[in-house]
Each structure stands twice: as C-alpha cells, then as structure tokens.
C-alpha cells in the first residue's frame, strides 16, 4: 500500500512540475531575461509560497519595490489611494491636510498643505509621525494612514512626531478640518495700487480662479501685484503655465520638458497674447515649501525678467510625473521627464535612488541653505538688515549657475553645494529671525487657537466691538490687557512652563498670533491672512521697498 501511495505522489509531483514549467516558460520568446525573471518570481511566490498570498497585494508590493528604486517622486497608488488622491483635487473631504510618504516603514510628512490643520499647529515638511492616537505608526500602510488621519470635521487626532533637524519628539493635537481645493486662499488690495493673491496649490481650476481674482483686483485699481507661493507644493504643470501666461507677452517661453527616452514628452510651453497682467510690477514670494509648479511659475517670471522673486531658496523639484491607471483602479505615478526654466536651468535637487535616498531627500528639504554659508563676502550682497531679517540681493546667482565664472563669489565647494541644492534662487534672499522656544511651544500645542476662543467667549473683551468690520478690527483691535494672565492660565492647563522673560520678548508676536486667529474665527481664512500680511510679514515690507524702487518691473 505504501509503495502505491509513493507512486501516486511521484506522479502528482511530476505532473505539477510539468504544469509549472509550462507556466513559467509561457511567453518566454517575447520577454527579455529581466522581464521573464520578474514574471517567474511572481508565479513562484503565488503558486508555491507556504501561506496564502493575495495576488493583488503581491503585484502592488512588486510595483512599489520597483518604484522605490527610482526617484523620490515616482509612486505607486493602490485603488483606495487613487480615490483619495482624486478627492484632493475634487474637494469635499476632511482631514489633517498633509502630503505624505512611507519611507523605510516610517510615515513621513512630505509637506503640510498651506492653510490646513497640520500647518496651523506647526507640523513641518520632513517630520516623522511615529504614533497616531497613542498607537505606533511604524510599519503603517498607506491605506491605514488615510483611514486614521482623515475623518469627520472637528474631531481631533493626537500625533507623536519626531523632527530630525532638532532630534526632538513632540506631541501635536490636530483638529481635522475641511481640506479646500480652492487654489486661492486670499485676494485683496494691500493699498490703493498693490494687489495680493495667495496661491496654495495648482489644481484643474487654478488658472480660472487666478484670472477671476486678477480681474477683481484690477477693478479695484491694482497697478502692481504680489503673488504669494509660500508653502505651495505645486500640482498641474499646465495650470502653472497658464498662470504664467497672464504676465507674459506673446510667444515667450514659460518652461520646457525633456525626456531621454520618449520624444512625446519633449514639450515647449509658450505664452499667448491676452489681457492678463502683462504690464505693471510683479513680485513673487517663495520659500522652501514652494515646489514643482510653483517653481515653474517663479522661474518663468524670473528668466523672462518680468518680476522679482523674494524669499528663500525653493524646494527643488524639477521632475514631471504622469499618472498611468491600471484596470483594478490602482495607478503608477511615474516620472517621465524633467522640466527646465526658460534659461535652461534644471532645478531638480540632487537625490540618491532607493529607500535610503528618499529618506535623506526629504530630510535635506528642511535644512536651510543660507547665503552666509555660501559667499566669500556675504556683506557684499547685503541689501537690508534689521532686528528681524537680513536680505541679500542675489539676483546675479542664477546666471552664474548657468555660466560659472572663476572668481571670488564662491568659496571652494560652495558652488557645488548651491547647484546640488536646486530650486529657484530668489533675487532677494530673506533670512528671518527664528522664534523663541516658548513661542514655538505655544504654536505646537494649539495654544493660540485656545487663547483666541477664550477671548471670543469673554463678553467683556474689546473684540466684541469689532465684529462687524474686518478693516476696523485690523486697525482698531489691539492685544487684550489680560493677555499675560490668559497665557499663564493656558500654559498651566497644557502643562507648558511659563517663561516670563520669553513672554515679554515675544509678547508682540504672541498678541499678533492671537489676533490672526480671532480674525479667522470672525471673518474667515482670508481675515487671518490679511492680519499677517498687512501687520507683520517682513517679506511684504521687502516687496514694498523693491517695488518702490522700480526694481520689480526693471528686471
């Protein structure tokens, strides 16, 4: 009996071996060796692995592995992620407002969305979320992130965050909110002739929204314009081109893309004739959170000498992705080309391929590159300096990067450092004074929102006199006489050590932060932006000085 059983088993194994061999060799004639290897590995795991394997998960993991070996911006999205991603462009979802990635099992904040709940409490690009609601986030999947961080508006989520730059672990309480996909956070007149537009991202409706805002401001007498791209992570290339078109005359080069493999991706984007804002001074505000489509717009303005760029060195993302969808609803967002500014600058920051390369890429994004570290004689570039900011006139550097000249402008190795940093170099590079630790602790713990609510709930507060007019509120409302007592009480409730000396040093900024949040509660998001822009933003002061000298239109 045992011999018969043995024969049967041998026959079964032989038949299965023949079947498997046929499956592995099928199609071998029209597959390269590497392609066949991938297919063979997939088939072996699917058919012979000791435990059950879900084929969709196996295929997805394989694609993720391949994509991880590429650049930091190529990604695989499963069907649920595609759905959530589309919702970000369509609107109507609630969450904490971050773009994220998972690198080496760690949840990484790629960027907090401008004006979103995470940005409001001070979560920064490059932060690592290590726990969500006291549950470890190490090893979390993309789907789990979406399920845990999105939720009903007004609900809260506790995040434990590691910040590599400081080496600190911090706790944040984030209140979920509606994540608006409107491109324009604010559009208003700063004075009788200066308009201001804040663009938070580039989605399918951006150019339409921008043209509408331009027309509204022109009717109000706008002769010069400040476009604020700080914290704008980018979006659709085509929308950035159309916004740039509003400032440029006919047939001016906006941007061009090149691919080493596919000539279809080699495209030149030029402006068309129109009635946008082709004359009048233009200033574009940028920071290290301005990326991708934001850099396309800034580069087009700068290279065509249409306006002046003010702020920090931008993020440095010069890769173009195209999304390819699979039949199961998943998608591959693949880098297909690089983009170049009109002068031929390829502003992509250097990166190493693979998981470790991705991690260091986003970590480096939060490291400041300061002019003081780059120039042999930084004082020779100094344009303005006061107790709050230092401003360097660095408009010549972009040309030097394209056509390096031997001389004393750079110390040894500094030229390579700046070139490797990528990004758009602002014409006026602004370095601000860092906030004190006490102020940052109030910011991180959401204490400013809490203080604003305390003031609003107090019927004796002077803020009650200004509820009917934002203009009156901005000009007439000042800090509460009991601000210090309120801060002490909030510090006790949130277990923050009250520092009298730091409070006095930062009292003006603390009062302004509370005032801005009061404006948000009473007059909406634009009210908060107007308070900051018109009453405390040093870049607006620099822009006013530059525009007053005529430099904004003379470039």
Give pLDDT tens digits along the chain (555 positions): 444 444 344 444 444 444 444 444 544 455 677 888 888 888 898 888 888 888 777 888 888 888 888 999 998 988 888 877 776 665 557 889 887 878 778 898 877 876 789 988 888 877 899 999 999 999 998 888 988 998 888 899 999 999 876 788 999 999 998 877 688 999 999 999 999 999 999 988 899 999 999 999 999 999 999 999 999 999 899 999 999 999 999 999 999 999 988 888 889 999 997 778 998 999 999 999 999 999 999 999 999 999 999 999 999 999 999 999 998 888 999 999 999 999 998 889 888 887 778 878 877 777 767 776 666 566 677 888 888 898 988 876 665 555 555 544 555 556 666 767 789 999 999 998 888 899 999 988 888 888 888 888 887 888 888 988 999 999 999 877 889 999 999 999 989 999 899 999 999 999 999 999 888 878 878 889 999 999 989 999 999 999 987 777 655
State the burial class of residue 315 (Cβ atoms within 10 Å of its Cβ: 0-12, 13-18, 19+). buried
Are the C-beta atoms of 290 and 298 separated by less than 8 Å?
Answer: yes
DSSP state of 372: G
CA atoms within 13 A on the CB side of 266: 6
Q: Which residue has the tokens 């510090």?
A: 491
Rounded to 5 degrees, φ, ψ at 406 are -65, 135
pLDDT for res 379: 66
CA torsion angle for 546, 547, 553, 554 (degrees, to 10)? Answer: -50
Token representation of residue 344:
């031929």
CA torsion angle for 477, 482, 488, 491 (degrees, to 10)? Answer: -30
Ramachandran assignment for 436, one of left (phi > 0), alpha (psi -120 to 50 degrees), beta (any other)? beta
Q: Could you tell me which residues come within 8 angstroms of residue 458 by beta carbon, excluding any fewer than 6 positions away?
A: none
Q: Among the options 303, 330, 390, 502, which is catalytic?
A: 303
pLDDT for res 350: 87
> Closest Cα to residue 216, out of 187, 183, 251?
187
- Residue 188 pairs in a beta bridge with 196
- What's the rounded Cα separation, in Å, for the pair 291 and 213? 22
- What's the rounded Cα separation, in Å, for the pair 411 and 406? 11
Q: Which residue has the tokens 């993020």?
A: 315
Q: Among the options 118, 180, 207, 292, which is catalytic?
A: 292
pLDDT for res 55: 77
- Residue 44 pairs in a beta bridge with none
Token representation of residue 248:
């440029």
Token representation of residue 486:
């309120």
pLDDT for res 264: 82
Are the C-beta atoms of 153 and 93 separated by less than 8 Å?
Answer: no
pLDDT for res 479: 75
Its sign, for the CA torsion 463, 467, 470, 476, is negative
- Residue 385 pairs in a beta bridge with 390
pLDDT for res 315: 92
- What's the rounded Cα separation, in Å, for the pair 373 and 381? 13
Angle of CA points 425, 428, 283, to nearest 5°: 95
- What's the rounded Cα separation, in Å, for the pair 186 and 533? 11
Strands (E), 216-343: 224-228, 253-258, 267-270, 282-286, 308-311, 319-325, 331-340
Does residue 292 have an active-site annotation? yes
* Interstrand relation of 308-311 and 428-432 (parallel, antiparallel or unpaired): parallel
pTM of the model: 0.79
pLDDT for res 265: 87
């Amino acid at each position: 009996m045992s011999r018969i059983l043995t024969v049967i088993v041998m026959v079964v194994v032989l038949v299965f071996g023949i079947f498997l061999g046929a499956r592995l060799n099928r199609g071998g004639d029209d597959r390269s060796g590497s392609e066949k290897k991938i297919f063979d590995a997939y088939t072996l795991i699917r058919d012979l692995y000791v435990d059950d394997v879900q084929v969709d998960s196996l295929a997805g993991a394989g694609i993720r592995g391949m994509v991880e070996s590429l650049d930091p911006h190529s990604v695989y999205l499963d069907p649920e992620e595609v759905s959530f991603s589309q919702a970000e462009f369509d609107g109507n979802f609630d969450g904490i407002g971050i773009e994220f990635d998972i690198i080496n099992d760690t949840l990484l904040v790629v960027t907090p969305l401008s004006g979103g709940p995470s940005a409001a409490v001070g979560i920064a690009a490059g932060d690592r979320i290590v726990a969500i609601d006291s549950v470890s986030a190490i090893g979390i999947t993309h789907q789990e992130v979406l399920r845990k961080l999105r939720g009903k508006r007004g609900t809260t989520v506790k995040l434990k965050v590691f910040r590599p730059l400081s080496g600190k672990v911090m706790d944040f309480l984030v209140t979920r909110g509606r994540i608006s996909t409107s491109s324009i956070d604010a559009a208003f007149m700063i004075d009788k002739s200066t308009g201001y537009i804040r663009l938070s991202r580039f989605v399918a409706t951006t150019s339409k929204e921008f043209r509408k805002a331009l027309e509204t401001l022109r009717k109000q007498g706008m002769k010069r314009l400040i476009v604020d791209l700080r914290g704008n992570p980018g979006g659709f290339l085509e929308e950035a081109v159309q916004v740039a078109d509003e400032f440029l005359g006919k047939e001016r080069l906006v941007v061009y893309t090149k691919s080493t493999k596919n000539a279809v991706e080699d495209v030149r984007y030029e402006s068309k004739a129109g009635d946008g804002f082709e004359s009048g001074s233009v200033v574009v505000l940028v920071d290290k959170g301005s990326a991708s489509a934001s850099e396309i717009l800034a580069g087009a303005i700068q290279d065509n000498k249409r306006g002046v760029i003010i702020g920090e060195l931008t993020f440095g993302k010069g890769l173009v992705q195209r999304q390819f969808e699979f039949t199961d609803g998943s998608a591959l967002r693949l880098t297909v080309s690089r983009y170049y500014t009109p002068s031929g600058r390829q502003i992509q920051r250097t990166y190493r391929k693979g998981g470790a390369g991705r991690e260091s890429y986003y970590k480096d994004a939060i490291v400041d590159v300061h002019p003081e570290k780059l120039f042999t004689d930084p004082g020779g570039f100094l344009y303005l300096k006061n107790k709050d900011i230092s401003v360097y006139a660095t408009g010549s550097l972009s040309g030097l990067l394209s056509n390096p000249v031997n001389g004393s402008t750079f110390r040894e190795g500094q030229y390579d450092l700046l070139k490797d940093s990528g990004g758009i170099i602002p014409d006026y590079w602004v370095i601000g004074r860092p906030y004190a630790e006490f102020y940052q602790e109030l910011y991180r713990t959401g204490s400013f929102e809490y203080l604003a609510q305390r003031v609003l709930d107090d019927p004796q507060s002077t803020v009650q006199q200004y509820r009917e007019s934002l203009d009156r509120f901005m000009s007439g409302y000042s800090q509460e006489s009991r601000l210090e007592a309120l801060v002490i009480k909030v510090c006790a409730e949130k277990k923050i050590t009250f520092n009298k000396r730091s409070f006095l040093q930062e009292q003006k900024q603390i009062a302004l932060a509370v005032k801005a949040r009061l404006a948000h509660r009473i007059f909406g998001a634009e009210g908060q932006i107007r308070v900051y822009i018109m009453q405390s933003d040093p870049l607006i002061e620099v822009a006013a000085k530059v525009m007053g000298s005529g430099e904004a239109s003379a470039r």
